[in-house]
Structure 1
Amino acid sequence: MQFAINSLDQNNCLQLLPLIQTLKQDITTDEWQDYVHSFTGRDSRECGIITVKNTAGYYLGILCYKVVEDVSHQMVMDVTNYVTADFLGRNNISRTLLDWLEGQAISRMCQAIHLTIDIQHTIIPESGYTKSISNQLADKGYVCDAIRLCKQLKIKN
């Protein structure tokens, strides 16, 4: 199956709402439109919302990214709201999106990709580290609701 990866056209943002609602069930149409506008309505920073659509015209993936400076990795592509509808892992939507993401990060001279995944929707098991963070900060009202993954990139000179 072939997929098209494109920047989100703000006119089509409501078609992506069901995918985003798999992460945040209570997001309203207005909240989603405001969020989309915060990414697509600015030219002063490098950011965007990327979509994956199949040949039948259905949206099957989305991610939001910002290129930011990071003390550990210098320039990074910081990715949130990563959602793919890989049915039983057969569609390779996630692999297609991750390949695109890596290529874009390298072309923007990023040294790493930081990918934040909501804990409720991750297949990554809780480790002693994530449990200890939650336990140490729980009395202050903090909870571990996401995991940030990092892939360091080799930039060719």
Structure 2
Amino acid sequence: MARHRFKPRYRGVAWASIGVGGSVAVVSVIAGFVMLPLLTGAAGVALGAAYFASPTWRLAVTTDDTGLEVGSPTRRRFRIAWGDIKKVIASPSTSSCFVDGGEPAKSLLVPGVGAPAPYDLEDRPGLVAAILAHVPADRVETVELLELVGSPPKPTAT
């Protein structure tokens, strides 16, 4: 049984929010408790801290011989057996894939490098390999990039 935790992808933005917000709040205090910068700075610190404290970072994808499960230690979001997966669109070169569980609530995106997802997953290549090893080959579509799925083909030079 392998466990792949969700990780925050935009840590730099959250740290910048905390740093800039804290700096603005300190300057406000030094300047005599100017209220607007103090509140703005405190909001920056609070928003950055809230990002890191999000319950999303307690979620994990767990794989075993029977299927995959997404959930936290206290609550299961969904579990799907390998045989119930309708389709997997995978990009081995970017270690990303989309698992179609038949309905949106039972589907999973494993985002690759540079994907516009707010989260990443621990040991992404291992998770993608486990998914591809368990899902029958006739349900797997391999692509170069997930972003190109469903887009019109590029014209070829003649």
TM-score, scaled to structure 1: 0.28
Write 1 or 2 for the structure with the bigger share of helix.
Answer: 2
TM-score, scaled to structure 2: 0.28
Q: Which has the higher contact order (CA 8 A, sep 6+)?
A: 2
